Amino acid sequence: MLFNSFEFLILVLVTVVLYYLPFMRRWQVPLLIVSSLVFYAWSNPNLLLLFLASAAINVTTSYGVVHGRPERRKAYATLGVVINLAILAFFKYSPLLGRTLFAPTDSIGQFLLQIPLPIGISFYTFEGITLLVDAYKGRDMHAEQELVPRQFVEHARNTTFFVAFFPHLIAGPILKAHDFIPQITPKYFRDINWEAFFRAVVVGYFLKMVLADNLKEQTFWIAYPYFETQSTSLLLMMLLGYSMQIFADFAGYSLIAIGVAHLFGYRLPDNFNFPYISQSVTEFWRRWHISLSSFLREYLYVPLGGNRHGNLRTYLNLMIVMFLGGLWHGAAWSYAVWGSFHGLALAVERLAKPHMQAPRSWAGKTLAVLATFTFVSMAWLLFKLPQFDQAVSYVQHIGQNTQLPTPALSYLTMLCIVVYSIPVLLYHAWYLLRQSGWAVRVRRYAYLAYALMLFLILTNAGPSGDFIYFQF
């Protein structure tokens, strides 16, 4: 079920009305679980069985971690994590293994290629892992009763709700058990943060429906083999457009999720913090998909040793984390290459940091932002063209097609990309403006910006489409 669909609007309205009825207060969490399962199963009910099985595994193993026999605590945690990763690997990476290890006519390869990719599996698997790890650590912190209550039914309810809560279920933000489960308390209509809801939802739908969906129509020609006949200027402009599209699409989803969660009294973590003003790749990953980078740092980078065992081990850990983070995004080796590019950039920046000073001048900071944006944008090609040879070919044609003419229709495409990219640039400019005294003056007229966004949502939305991160 898409956030920008009529069915989603009806689901939210019906759920909110029932949710805040006085006699429903003790049933608020079960109601949200039911609504979440309807949301997840709307397009493909069969996938609900896998989701419920995954939730049951996390419920049982995390309960064993906290309330089972002490000597089996580690075994329960290890078993739960291994099963989670095995499910993710089987359903997400079997087609990749089928293409890599077997001939197209091989029966095993054909079987692996036919395994479906359950929507949102990367997100709810990671959330199950956070529950197990937090429960295991919580035993030592004597806080397990808050995370895993003694009553098994209550624990099953809380855990199922934690992974199923529909605003974040399909594409995040990735939640951590120790942040979300303590929020499970009775909610009251009077406590809704209406301003936070309104701001997040309006900006989110504007980013998705007006910017991302319209840019999608212009960046379509990045696909193979269409890009081979396009001029260099159009190829570069489409790459700019896709960078803006993927930000508007994913940041839009995250903001809608955060806003809808406010309706039910829950706080989801921010997932984006103006990433395209980053002056380095390191800073970019502190601002882009924050819930993923936070998960990778807390549950993978630190357990691997982080930066505690010398520079060489630190660089290796960065490469491992980003390689696996790339594979998390998609079952293709190009995603692993994408992650490795970022891992290499992080390692190089860390190596060079003691010998370089951060730019202090306006010109130096601008050059750093442009260099980071260029690197990130070039790497995004591996998302749009997940076959690595096609991404390489795209870059080659940027250099080869300099003599190709740019027809009038291509100029129109470039104009549309500029028009729908400007709001993303203004969105990031707002962050810079907040650092100056002008922010107070501009904020007085914020209602005009929200009114314009609402108007454009109603009048200039692009053709509806899936969110890009749904495939992960």
Write out the catalytic residue numbers: 329
- Supply the DSSP string of 420-467, one letter for each residue: HHHHHHHHHHHHHHTTSTHHHHHHTTHHHHHHHHHHHHHHS-------
Contacts of 111 (CB under 8 A, 6+ apart): 98
Contact by Cβ (8 Å): 89, 22? no
Say whether the peptide bond before residue 354 is cis (omega within 30 degrees of 0): no
Question: Which tokens is 48 given?
Answer: 């609900």
> Which residue spans within 139-279 are E strands per DSSP?
none
10 to 6, 7, 16, 465: CA distances (angstroms): 6, 5, 10, 19
Contacts of 20 (CB under 8 A, 6+ apart): 187, 188, 189
281 to 277, 305, 352, 375: CA distances (angstroms): 11, 21, 13, 8
d(CA 284, CA 322): 13
CA torsion sign for 330, 169, 420, 283 is: negative
Strand, helix or coil at 264?
Answer: coil
Cβ neighbour number for residue 250 with a 10 Å cutoff = 23
Expressed in percent and rounded to 5, the helix, strand and coil fractions of the chain are 80, 0, 20
Contacts of 344 (CB under 8 A, 6+ apart): 319
CA torsion sign for 153, 156, 158, 161 is: negative
